[in-house]
Structure 1
Amino acid sequence: MAIFATHNIGVLIFGLLGNITSFVVFLAPVPTFLRVFRKKSTEGFQSVPYLVALFSGMMWLYYASLKTDETLLITINSFGCVIETIYIAIYITYAPKQARDTTTVELWGFCLILLLSHFLTKGPNRIKVLGWLNVSIAVSVFAAPLSIIRVVIRTKSVEFMPFPLSFFLTLSAVMWLFYGIFLKDIYVALPNILGFIFGVLQMILYVVFKNSKTVIEEQKLPEHKAAQVDEKLSSTGVTAEVQIICATEEAASNIDENGTVHHNSHGHVTNHHHEKSMEDCLKIEGPPALICEV
C-alpha cells in the first residue's frame, strides 16, 4: 500500500497514531449533533469551531496533495472534511435564520481564501504560503482554550474542561509533532508544540481543580453576565454545563450529587434537579471543543 511506502519508520508509526487520535477528536461532537437532531434546535450553539475545522482540513488536504510522502495527512483530513461537512449541514438545517445566514457567509469566505491561495501562488511558493496559513490556523485554534483556562482558574471548576477531550487533544498534538519532526516538515511540527503545551496545561489544571466544587451566588452573576459567559464558551466550542446556584454559604453544605439546594426569601429549602428550567438554575451549555488536526 502507498502509505507503507515511506522509508522512515518514525513517519509511519506517528502518522498512523496521529490518524487514530485525530479520528477520536473529530468524532467528539457527535453527541452534540445527535442532541441537535433530536431537539431540532441548535440551542444557541455557534458554528465557528466546525467551520474553522472544515477550513483547516481543506487547507491541510490541499497542502498534503502538493507534497510527496504525505499520504497520512491526506487520509485523516479527508475524513475530517467529510465529518465537518456533515456537522455544518446539520447546523444549517436547524439553526435560526440569522445564524444560518452567518454560517453560510463564513463558509463561502473560507472557500474564497482557499481559492485565492491556489490562483495567486505557484510552484514552491504555493507550498510555503499554504504551510504558513496552516500554521496560523492551527495556532489560533490551539490558543482558543486560553479563555476556558481563565474561566477554570477563576471558578476553580473543571466542568468547563472535560478531561478525556483534553487528553486526546494533547496526545494527538504529540503524535503530529513527532510526525512532523521525522518528516522534517516544520509546518506540521511547529503548531503542535503549542498544542502540546496547552494540552498539558489543561490536564494540570484538571488535576488541581477536579475535586473543587464552587458555589456561585445568583446575585453575583446577573443575567447579562451569564450571557457573556455563555457566548465565551460557545465561541471556543467547549462542552460546559454549569449550575449557578442560588444558595447561601450555609446551604451549600446540603448540596448533594442529585440536585442543587436553594433557599427562598423565607428561608425554606427547595431542591431543584438539573432538569428544571433556567429560571431556577442557570444552565450554560456549549458544543464540544474541536481542535483542527493536521
Structure 2
Amino acid sequence: MGFFTPHPQLAFIFGVLGNIVSFLVFLAPVPTFYIICKKKTAEGYQPIPYVVGLSSAMMLLYYGMLKTNASLIISINGIGCAIEVIYLVLYIIYAPKREKVLTVKWIILFNLGGYCLIMGLANLFTEGSKRVTVVGWICAVYNVAVFASPLGIMRHVIRTKSVEHMPFFLSCFLTLCATMWFFYGIFVKDFYIALPNVLGFLLGIAQMILYVIYKNASKDVEITEKQQNGDIELKLSSVADVNPCLSENQLEIRKE
C-alpha cells in the first residue's frame, strides 16, 4: 500500500522528466512543418492530430489550474498549447482552400466551442473537488483518444508491411512520456493522469514491436521488386538479341 501513498520528491522528479520528454514529443512534427514551409504546401497532410493535441493540452491546462500544486502539469501544457497553435497556423497558411476552411471549422468547433462548453458546464454545475473530478475524467477521456490515435498507423503498418510512417524514435519517446506521467500520477495519487498513460505505454510498446517486426519487410519487398525488374530487363535483352528488329515500343509493351 506504501506504493500508492504520495511521494512529493519522486513526483517532482518524474514530473520534470515528463515535462522534458513531453516537450520533445511536442517538437516531433517540426521536420514535417519544415517540409511544408519549404514546399509551401500542406497538401497530403492532416490537421486532426494538431487539433486533438491542442484540445488535450487545453483541457489538461484547465485541469492543472483547478488542482493545487500542479505547476508541472500547467507548465508543459501551456507550452504545448503554444506549439500546437503554431502548427495549426502554419497548416492553415499552406493548406489548400478546402482543407483550410475545414481546419478553421474544427478549431472553432472543438478547440473553442467544445472547450468553452465544458468549462462553462463544469463551472455552472460543479464546484470544489467535484469540479476537479469531472474535469479529471474528461482529461482522461481526451488522453485515451490521443493515445488511441496511432491505432490507424499500426493497422497501416500491418497491412503494408512498411514502417515508413511510424518512426521508431517517436514511438520510443511516446512510450517514455507515458511512463514518466504514469509514475507522476501514481506518486501524487492522481489517477486521472496515471491510468490513461497505462494505455499509452502499452500502445507505445506495441508500436516498437511492430517496428522491429516490419522494419526489414519493406526492404525485402524492394529487393524482390528489383530482382523482378532485373529479370524482366534480362528477358527483354535476350529477346532483343534474338530479334534485333523489335522496336523500343514493342519492348516496352512486352515489359508491361
What's the TM-score bracket when you normalise by the shorter of the two chains?
A: 0.7 to 0.9
Query: For this pair of structures, how many residues does the alignment match?
Result: 228
- Per-residue deviation, 1:214: 6.0
Query: Are residues 253 and 176 of structure 1, via their aligned partners in 2, closer, same or farther at CA, if it must alter by over 3 Å?
Result: farther
- Per-residue deviation, 1:44: 2.3
* Number of the residue aligned with 2:255: 267
Aligned 1:10-49 pairs, distance under 5 A: 10-49=10-49
* Number of the residue aligned with 1:135: 140
Provide Cα deviations, 1:224-244, integer angstroms capped at 9, x if missing partner. xxxxxxxxxxxxxxxxxxx9x
* Alpha carbons 1:135, 1:187 under 8 Å: kept: yes
Distance 2:17 2:33 in 1: 26
* Number of the residue aligned with 1:82: 82
* Number of the residue aligned with 1:144: 149
The residue identity in structure 2 corresponding to 1:51 is V
Give the 3-state SS of the residue equivalent to 1:158 in structure 2. coil
- Per-residue deviation, 1:265: 3.7
Distance 1:179 1:246 in 2: 48
- Per-residue deviation, 1:211: 1.9
Aligned 1:1-294 pairs, distance under 5 A: 8-110=8-110, 111-121=112-122, 122-123=126-127, 124-213=129-218, 247=225, 250-251=228-229, 265-267=253-255
Question: Which 4+ residue blocks in structure 1 deviate beyond 6 angstroms?
Answer: none
Query: Are residues 249 and 112 of structure 1, via their aligned partners in 2, closer, same or farther at CA, if it must alter by over 3 Å?
Result: same
Query: Are residues 77 and 249 of structure 1, via their aligned partners in 2, closer, same or farther at CA, if it must alter by over 3 Å?
Result: same
Distance 1:71 1:214 in 2: 46
- Per-residue deviation, 1:147: 1.8
Provide Cα deviations, 1:45-90, integer angstroms capped at 9, x if missing partner. 1111101111111110000001011110111001100011111111
* Number of the residue aligned with 2:247: none
Q: Which has the higher helix share?
A: 2
Percent pairwise identity = 50
TM-score (norm 2): 0.82
* Alpha carbons 1:157, 1:212 under 8 Å: kept: yes
The residue identity in structure 2 corresponding to 1:147 is G
Distance 1:107 1:61 in 2: 17
Please tell me the root mean square deviation across aligned C-alpha atoms, in Å: 2.5
Which blocks of at least 5 consecutive residues in structure 1 are unaligned? Answer: 1-5, 217-242, 255-262, 269-294
- Per-residue deviation, 1:126: 2.1
Give the greater-gyration-radius structure (CA): 2
- Per-residue deviation, 1:215: 7.1
Which blocks of at least 5 consecutive residues in structure 2 are unaligned? Answer: 1-5, 233-250
* Alpha carbons 1:139, 1:191 under 8 Å: kept: yes
Distance 1:127 1:84 in 2: 25
Distance 2:230 2:114 in 1: 52
* Alpha carbons 2:43, 2:96 under 8 Å: kept: no
* Alpha carbons 1:41, 1:94 under 8 Å: kept: yes
TM-score (norm 1): 0.72
Distance 1:213 1:102 in 2: 34
Q: Could you tell which deviates more after superposition, 114-123 or 98-107?
A: 114-123
Q: Which has the higher strand share?
A: 1
Distance 2:85 2:205 in 1: 30
